[in-house]
Each structure stands twice: as C-alpha cells, then as structure tokens.
A and B are shown apart, each in its own frame.
Chain A
Amino acid sequence: MTTLTPPERRPRLPRLPERIAGTETTLAALAVAGYVVLAATTHGAVVSGGTLTAIFQFLAVPMVIGLSQMAVLSVGQMNLGVGVLTGFCAMVCAWLMVAAGLPAWLAVAGALLTGAAIGLVNGLLVVLTRINGFVVTLATMTIIDGLRYGVHGTATYQGYSHRLVSLGQGSVLGVPTVFLAAVAIAILVAFFFRSVPLGRRLLASGGNPLAARLSGVSNDRSLVVAHLVSGLLAGAAGVMVVALSGSVNATIGDDLLLPSFAAPIIGGVALAGGVVSVLGTCLAALIIRLVDVAQAQYSINPDWVDLIVGAVVLGAVLITQLRRPRAGGTP
C-alpha cells in the first residue's frame, strides 16, 4: 500500500498539519454541537449522571480500537485482525483468570502480551514474506477468529475477578475509569508519535519510504513496530471489554472491524501513511458514539445508525479532500 509521492508534490507537505488541525477543530465543533442538540431535544436526558457515564464508558473501547488501526495506518498498512484480536485477547484474559486461576493483574499482562505477540507475528510476516499487509492480516484474522472460539467454544466466562470488574465499572470523580484509561492510552500514543524518535520514524516510513531509507530509517523495523503497537492496543481494548462487561464470550470483536477504520478515517488519518491524528481519531469515535446514543434516545431503528455512519465517513473524507489542493485523481 505504500505509494511514493512524485517529487512535484513535495512542497505541499507542510500544509498537512494545518489540514489535520482543521479536521480536528471541525470534529470538535461537530461533537459539541451534536451533544448540545441531543441534550436540548431529549430534555436533558443525556446530561443526567447515568447516561453521561454510559456514553463515556462505551466510548473507551471504540477509541482504543481506532488508535490500534491508526498505528498501522501510520506506516500505510492495514490490520484487518483488530476486531477479532480484541475478542481473542478478552477471551485469553478471562481464561487466565477463570481456568488458569491467575490473579487479575497477571491475566491483564498476559492479554496485553498476547496482543503484542500476535502484532509482532503480523509485522514479521509482512516484512519476511513481502506479502501485502492487507493479505497477511486477512490470513491471520481468519486464524485468530478460529482461535477466539477455540479458547472456550461459544460458552461465556463470567464471575472472574470482582476487583477488576468493579474497577472497570467504577468511576473516579464521576468519570468512568475505563474512559480514563482510554484517555491515558491516547495520550501515550500521541506522545509516541509526536516526541519519541521511534514514532517519528514510523511516520517517516509511512510518508515516504524511499526518503526514510535514505535518511537511515529501517522501513522493515517501522513495519514490525507499527504492527506490534497495533496488536498491543487491541490487547488493551480486550482487557477493557473484560473489565467493563463482567462476562465475555467469543462473539466479542465481531462488530469492531469497520468502526476501527471509521474512526481514524473520519479523524483525518491518511490511508497512505505518514499522517496520524490521535485527537481526530478520538473525536471521531465520540461522534460515532453520539450517533449511537441518539439512536437509543430517540428509539430510532438501529439500522439508521449504520446508514448515518456511512454517510459521515464519506462526508468527512470528501470535506478533507476538498480542502486539500487537488492532487490528481489518484485514489
């Protein structure tokens, strides 16, 4: 998926941060406006404690999932296994606690390690076989999908560590802990891509592999690291599901793949690589969450949600595209 940008387009690069900043502002305004409209039309139902908590509790997983996809998009790759990997890590975490009898903190570490290890395998496969990352993750997605059901069949794990669940469902000063965890992860990811040399190298590889190589960046290492980070974040999302829901089964992650793409794409992340936006991805996840809330509040047919999300994805990309000076019709 890596495409070299022809030399004549180079001078436009400095505009990209501007474009991202614009997208983030638009998204923030959209989210606030959406929330105000929701609050006004539901007679304040979404301002009350319970609903507000629920909004942010169930925002945590989509946020982290979006960041997981964003990590591989940064080098111009895709990870189709994000959803099933989240489900698999959740099952592993629950299995470690229920069947293996490990304490919760070890189980959490085990789930994170599982995610990172699978991400590492993805990355190594991409680098060693030189097969397109889309195809590699398509194959590993199929395998993980099988493994996910292999952990405990279609049965449900429940009654694991009460402390983990009460921590996951609890809140600090009225803010749900899972949401706080998601924000902390987002800050870490933002820091990684902004200030850590390794993160900068990922963006360099994604933006222009040839230039990156000539500047001494190992593109292979960037690919492996990006997949590893993506797997680790999917593992984190899996742990959040375990802590939040109190019971897990193998269907977790089925409906996460498409949202994982929707959030970064709406947030202004370039599919070709080289440009990421943590804030944009999180805001986009929030907007999608608000559409969900609106559906529940107005008791609209849930099918409209997908229709609207589809329209928002396309609309967001179109707006971004229109704002950018026309760079030819290369899709």
Chain B
Amino acid sequence: MIATVALLLAVAPDEPIAAPLPQAPDEVTAPAPAAEPPAVEPSPPTAAPVAPTATPPTAAAVTKPASPRRRPIASGPWVPNAWPTAPTCTLDPTDAPWCALVRADVFAGARAGTIGGAAQNEFRLDRAEAATGLLWKPATRFETGGVIALEAIRSAGPQSLTGIDGDSLVVRLLEAYGQAAAHFGPIDVGVRAGLVPERWIEQVEKGYDTRGFDALASDRVRMFDRADIGVAFTASAWDGRVDVDVEIVNGEGRAQRELNRGKNTTAIVTVRPLLREHPRGPLVLALHGAFRDGSLGIASIADRRGAAAVTFASPWVYAGVEFVHALGYAGRADLQASTLSSWVSGRILPRWLGAMAKYDHVRQDVAVAGSVIHVVGGAVFSDVFEHIDRNRRRVRVYAGYQFEGYGDAAAPLPGVVGALDAHRFLVQLELRGLARFGPKEIRP
C-alpha cells in the first residue's frame, strides 16, 4: 500500500492585498503544490521515462507487454505537474516501483508603504509549506500514491484579536488525498480523492511563473478555494494537449465542514494547441475554460463560477489572462462578481534578471459601477541559484511595487476616497524545492 506524506507550512499575512471579500483569508492562499510552471532553464536530463523493461512483466502487464511511452519529460517541464500523464518521479514497476517526495515552499519578505495614507511596513511570511509523499507504480500502465500537505495560517481570523497564544501561526491540512492514474495509449486518466487541490488554480498556474510575488486574482479573492474535500477526475490526451477535469467536492472549502447536501461540480477543459519542446525549454499555449455549479453553506446558496483563461509559457516569456465570473458570491446568491487578471513576465538576462507586471481588476458587484478594485504591480527578479524545474528548485528574489486602488463604490468603505488605497514596495523571497527519494531518482 502506498502512503504519501506531505507537509506544508503556509503563513497567512496580516493584511490582504485586496480584501473585497468579507471573510477573505489573510492574503496567503497559495496554489496547489502540483501546479508548477514549465521550466525556464533547461533541466538536467532525467532517467528515461517508463522505458520498456527487460525484467519479467508484472501481472498486470502479462497480457499486453509494456510499450515505450513517449512523454515530453526529457526536459522536465511537465514532470512535476503532469498529472495524470506522468508521475512526479521516475518510476517503473520492476526497478523503481516507488518514490518518496519531500517539498517545501516559503514566501517571505518585507513591505513598506502606505495604506489609506498611513505609513505601514512589516516583515511578512506569506507562505511556508513543507510536504512529503509516496508514489508507487505496481504496473506499467498504472501508478498510485497519496499526498498529505499542511499549511500554516494565523490562528486568529482577520477580525479577531485572539487566536492560539495570541495570534500564533498554526498548522492545518491543506491537502490530503490518494491518487491513481492509468494509461491507455494516448489517453491518461486519473482520480484523486480526499482533500484535493483545486484543478483550476493548478491548471492556470502552469502558465504563471511569478506566484511568489502575488497570487492569481481568482485565488486571492476566493473565486476558487485552493482545496476542498471530494474527488477529482482527470482525463488527459496526447500528452496534455487536451485535459478534462471534473471535480465533485463539498463546496465549503478547506476551512469548513460540509453544511448542505449539495456538492460542487466543476468541469474544466484545457486545450494546448501549442506544446513543443525547445532546447531551452517548453513552449506551451493553453486555453482554459471552466464552469462550476455549486452551493455554499447550510442554505445552499448559489456559488457558481464561469471561468476562462489563456496562458503562454516559454523559456523567455510567460503571459496570461484569466477571467472568472461568479454567479453567487460571498454567501449572497443574488450577487454577481468578477475578476480579470493579466500578467507577463520575462527574462532579460537569463537567471540573473527578469521582470514582471501584473494587473488585477476585481469587480465586487457587476451591478454597481465603481465597485472595483485595481491591483497593479511590477517587479524585477533574480534567481539566486539556477532554477531546476524538475526539482521545483527556485530561490528567487523580487523587488517591486504594487498599487491597490478602490473604486468609489467598492466595499468595505464605499465613497471613502483613498481610505484603503495602498502603495507598497516589496522585497520578496520565493523559496521552493522538491526532493525525490527512490531507486532511480537522481539526487536533488
């Protein structure tokens, strides 16, 4: 039997970047762990993927010998995030049937600026995560495993004074799921069950390379919760050129138990018309679309989402646009809201210098003009060590600026010009890493 362990420590900052939602968590909210952008730097070659084995076939492979499977994993980009096309580790049922994982993410930094004209500066720990897991491949066309991930949050809510021993950081489950994948020719299918990561965020973040600076708008304002309890099915064809995800989850998010009999059902379609290997890394153009039929709380309040995104990833430039429309939002069935997020990042001097810009437009109530929040940010960044995407290794420093402006009808203080407008300079450190331990794994 397989066990997987993952630890995740994430820290909720004291003040949301934008706080259009009532119970919006302290900013935090990190993307799903498996969502890793394609490699920017060429990754070291890895062991051959699921090569035909000379060893006696497993029981499952007796009737049909394993055949070589071509996967664009030589350069590594899809290995950490190719679910269910390829496992995170290099596995084969005979020589390397198992693999253990350990990963960690830390986003920390300092901010200085003003909020509503009042000076504010602070050191922040926006995310601290650690994870470990175990994968098992008992047959050529099948692998399974599980992940448990923990995150840390502030123990007092945004409006609370008192949490645990003041407002200590406490650790809670972020993800805890078992998974299984099977491969049939060009089709790969997988299922996850438990506290599963939100697939929309996973999919879109494959085309978003600067999560350490800021979250996607849909993540930050809780258009989608990062994880929920339920089951997620994924079918992927032609090495990820078409992905279809279907999630059925409680719909209350990771911070609440199920409160109604309904389940949130989300269907996500991802098409990658451009998916090419380049000597310096992958070129990927992805089109995403999703709809969620859902309900929230004991009164089964409508909580639906329609979403679309276009993302582009390459060794030189990342860019994307994401739009999410809510039909029912923040516990109000008759409220419609939307977010529009766009970003671009690129390398000026590979490894040493990059630049990024991001703009989020949050419309709190589409029926009310002026109920908008604009978040504009830009930064330069540098990778202290060479990025190795297969190992999710990243030590990146951002130095940037962000403006957050509220429309004249935006909550929480409509009509109060400038009371919440924020100007902040940021120095942010993004630390990420993934280590694999298994018979065929190279050392991280």
Chain A partners chain B: no
